[in-house]
A and B are shown apart, each in its own frame.
Chain A
Amino acid sequence: MGNKLETIDVNLYYGDFHALKGISMFISENSVTALIGPSGCGKSTYLRLFNRMNDLIPNTRIEGQVLLDGEDIYQIKPSKIDHLRRNVGMVFQKPNPFPKSIFENVAYGLRVNGITDKSFIGAQVEKTLRQAVLWEEVKDKLKKSAFELSGGQQQRLCIARALAIEPSVILMDEPASSLDPISTGKIEDLIFELKNLYTIIVVTHNMQQAGRVSDYTGFFYLGNLIEFDKTKKIFTNPSKPETENYITGRFG
């Protein structure tokens, strides 16, 4: 497995605030990488580097290199940002379906990227809803508003929405933090399934979750990457005392 993503000495500033401090790290292809750490440690900010979502916040300054398949995504032309975002999907903390039907939510990414072939869109919507293990639950009400689904269903819809344009990387920002345990379990199973096809990065608060779903884990603290290793290693035999303290629940 090669390195899908890599950051080399990345620094990020929000105005005067130094949010990411010299982060270097690699993400291997078709694996799940978990980013853990206390609130405000920079893990979400780090995640948002990969689809240039931080660009939307005024007064943000970024130094260093962020490589996707070996290409620095901060050196590409502004007009190519759409291409990048098609290739790097994102799932957010709270389910945030659009004020549209279930079908149109999944079809959204296809439509905004210029695809008009109706039969293709229909097939793709079904395929991704099946991938997200939602098809059986919604196949009879595709025209209904997405807001009528339960929270867990909405989040799986949002995952399907991200899958529909066939990205190679999926970023997940605490995807289960607002869900009940059963829905959380379903999302975790889904992540496990999806890693055969996608490179996945998950930000999570939940240590057990990181242990269950991920292959690699990075521990962030105060804008620093304290430790990065195989998940098994981090959870059983961390090399840094800060990591051990956090994992055993002594702070955070």
Chain B
Amino acid sequence: MTFPESNLRRKKLGQALMFGLARAISYGIVAILLLILFFIVKQGIGVVNWRFLTAMPENGMTQGGIFPAIVGTLYLVAGSMLFAFPVGVMAGIYVNEYAKEGPVKRFVKMMTNNLAGVPSIIFGLFGMALFVNELNFGASILAGSLTLGLLALPIVIRTTEEALKSVDDTFRQASYALGGSKLYTVRKVVLPIALPNILTGLILAVGRVSGETAPILFTVAAYFLPKLPGSVFDQCMALPYHLYVISTSGTQIEASRPMAYGTAFVLVVIVLIVNILATLLRNYFGKKVKMN
């Protein structure tokens, strides 16, 4: 059989072209990310200094620092994890260790997926209806933390589930063979092995929660509050909301631009730290488990 050589040449050329294009697009996407990071770092790094991190906002939020927003975000992250971490880990244990294959397990997993897909603004609406109004917490750190906790819950559940799934069954069987109960096996054998991966999930959830804005709009965030919150029933400022506010509203948007760049820089640094930490943790413990 004879094959047309001209078409074959086109085939080779097509491959070279498409591979080049795919490579160019991939590097282009990376370039976009680097551009965003570079832009924010370049504009923000000159603003960030010790005073910026530790001072109250001044002069219509065009000067001073972002201290209360940093503290507020810390409170919110801590508060949300206080709820989401234990509940999420226990739910992950339930799904992977206790629930039997069947409609119940499918339902639980489906609901976790659904919750993960709910837009963050819906969490905001829900948090306002339930925590702020129905339970009468008012716009407060408590209401905001719980709302963010709900949003973080599916992340913690999924990573816990994955972490437990990767624990070899022989560990469980060995424990049962020695007369360990189910809970004892989970607590003393399975959880310790899965812990590094579970912690990775916790770190990723912290990263997600610290950057979320929509859920805290109506549940806790204060536009301008130049003092630190005194109790969980106080409102507080938060980094992402602060960035939103100073970059879109107020009469002095241009004057507060440097503050906005500085805030964006701090947020980006948090994200970078979280990602690097998660990767390091995964690599470090990943190796260690293999060695045993």
Contacts and interface: CB of A to CB of B under 8 A. Distances in A.
Whether the complex brings A and B within 8 Å at their CB atoms is answered yes
Interface of A: 79, 82, 86, 112-116, 165-166
A234 B67 CA distance: 86
B7 interface: yes
Nearest to B10: A114
A135 to B, nearest CB: 20
B8 A82 contact: yes
What are the 8 closest A-B residue pairs judged by CB atoms, nearest first?
A114-B7, A166-B1, A113-B3, A114-B4, A114-B8, A114-B3, A114-B11, A165-B1
B7 A116 contact: yes
A126 to B, nearest CB: 15
Given A86-B3, A165-B1, A166-B1, A112 B12 contact: no
A119 to B, nearest CB: 15
A115 B3 contact: yes
22 contacts: A79-B12, A82-B8, A82-B11, A86-B3, A112-B11, A113-B3, A113-B7, A113-B8, A114-B3, A114-B4, A114-B5, A114-B6, A114-B7, A114-B8, A114-B10, A114-B11, A115-B3, A115-B4, A115-B7, A116-B7, A165-B1, A166-B1
Given A86-B3, A113-B7, A113-B8, 12 more contacts: A79-B12, A82-B8, A82-B11, A112-B11, A114-B3, A114-B5, A114-B6, A114-B7, A114-B8, A114-B10, A115-B7, A166-B1
Contacts of B12: 79
A131 to B, nearest CB: 14
A95 to B, nearest CB: 25
Nearest to B8: A114
A166 B2 CA distance: 10
Which bucket holds chain B's interface residue count?
Answer: 10 to 19
B239 to A, nearest CB: 45
Contacts of B5: 114
A86 B5 CA distance: 13
A209 to B, nearest CB: 30
Nearest to B1: A166
Contacts of B6: 114
A52 to B, nearest CB: 17
A116 B10 CA distance: 13
Interface string B131-144: 00000000000000
Nearest to B12: A79
B183 to A, nearest CB: 43
A113 to B, nearest CB: 5
Contacts of A82: 8, 11
Contacts of B8: 82, 113-114
Nearest to B3: A113
Contacts of B7: 113-116
A3 B12 CA distance: 32
User: Of residues B1, B3, B10, which shows the largest number of chain A Cβ atoms within 10 Å of its Cβ?
Assistant: B1
A116 B12 CA distance: 17
A77 to B, nearest CB: 12
A252 to B, nearest CB: 30
B5 to A, nearest CB: 8
A116 B4 CA distance: 9
User: Of residues A112, A113, A114, which shows the largest number of chain B Cβ atoms within 10 Å of its Cβ?
Assistant: A114
Nearest to A79: B12
A151 B96 CA distance: 35
